[in-house]
Amino acid sequence: MEKREQLYEGKAKKVFKTDDENLYIVSYKDDATAFNGLKKGSITGKGVVNNRLSNHFMKLLEKEGVPTHYVEELNDRETLVKKVKIVPLEVIVRNIAAGSLSKRLGLPEGTPMKLPVIEYCYKDDELGDPMINEYHIMAMDICTKEELDTIADYALRVNAFLLDYLKDKKIELVDFKIEFGRTSDGTIILADEISPDTCRFWDSDTHEKLDKDRFRRDLGGVEDAYAEVLRRLLGE
Ligand code: ADP
Ligand code: UDP
């Protein structure tokens, strides 16, 4: 598959056209940002880890009945994906209180949720991705009710599968963010990435953080944490 013009350079990935109008190539970078781009840095090898891990998760999720954009891993950093129009929502699922939820609700980090919590944020960097609810989503015509029901159903299925799968690898899935898109025929599929950049992973025994919080909070050992997740999941 020929890589054509670059369409977009984001904070963590670049997106390229290909000679197939229904396919894109995403290229994972080592660049890291936090706090809506205010903190910038680089995590050596992160692009390779995130590419591999995200593809691994998406392949497993396809088997679980969640359609994804994954087509083929091309090399260490690049993957062929189905082109979608991204639904401008960050869909967050939480099992344990952490991060912004802990702050907002005064729940200490580590407090288990009785049920998984779904939150939606409107994907708009200038506004700082504000949290919105189903009414805003309908009122702003971000997607239809049917599409949102599909998105919520897939998000909970992703959560249930990953929780179980990661438990076996001694990783607690605290929370994560996913994105969905519409293919040319309007089908909703899981897009973007699932990686230590977009999930909170804690070691099941020590509760040590194995994700981007090590970068956000200057905890050190960032590269090692990403490598450890790759090792536990793929044995590499
Ligand atoms: P950001 O835009 O937040 O800086 P990235 O650096 O990860 O994030 O950029 C990747 C961009 O590509 C994101 O805007 C994401 O929504 C988008 N994207 C992810 N998967 C697809 C896809 N299959 N088709 C089209 N766009 C996609
Ligand atoms: N998240 C993300 N991108 C964002 C915001 C959040 O991938 O722009 C992920 C984050 O890694 C965590 C979950 O979504 O796994 C919940 O994040 P939270 O709302 O607690 O925000 P944060 O503490 O990162 O500001």
In this chain, the answer to whether the domains covering 3-82 and 86-220 adopt an identical fold is no
Q: Give the chain's mean pLDDT.
A: 98
**Is the Cβ atom of 99 under 6 angstroms away from ligand 2?**
yes
Percent of the chain exceeding pLDDT 90 equals: 97
- Amino acid identity at 232: R
Give the start-to-end residue ranges of the domains of the chain. 3-82, 86-220
* 43 φ, ψ (degrees, to nearest 5): -120, 110
Note the pLDDT tens digit of each residue in 103-139. Answer: 999 999 999 999 999 999 999 999 999 999 999 999 9
**Is the Cβ atom of 12 under 6 angstroms away from ligand 1?**
yes
For residue 57, give both structure tokens: 């998760």
The alpha helices in the chain, defined as continuous H runs, are 46-63, 99-105, 134-139, 145-168, 213-216, 222-234
Ligand 1 center to residue 10 CA distance, Å? 7
Closest to 210 in 3D by CA, of 193, 191, 196, 220? 196
Note the pLDDT tens digit of each residue in 82-97. Answer: 999 999 999 999 999 9
For 3-82, which CATH superfamily applies?
Phosphorylase Kinase; domain 1 (3.30.200.20)
Question: Which H/E stretch holds residue 211?
Answer: none
Ligand 2 center to residue 91 CA distance, Å? 10
Question: Which H/E stretch holds residue 91?
Answer: strand 89-96
Q: How many CA atoms lie within 13 A of 190 on its CB side?
A: 28
Q: How many CA atoms lie within 13 A of 48 on its CB side?
A: 11
Note the pLDDT tens digit of each residue in 10-39. Answer: 999 999 999 999 999 999 999 999 998 899
Pick the CATH number of 86-220 from 3.90.550.10, 3.20.20.370, 3.40.50.720, 3.30.470.20: 3.30.470.20
pTM > 0.75: yes or no: yes
- Amino acid identity at 152: A
**Which position has the token pair 């999720």?**
61
Ligand 2 center to residue 169 CA distance, Å? 22
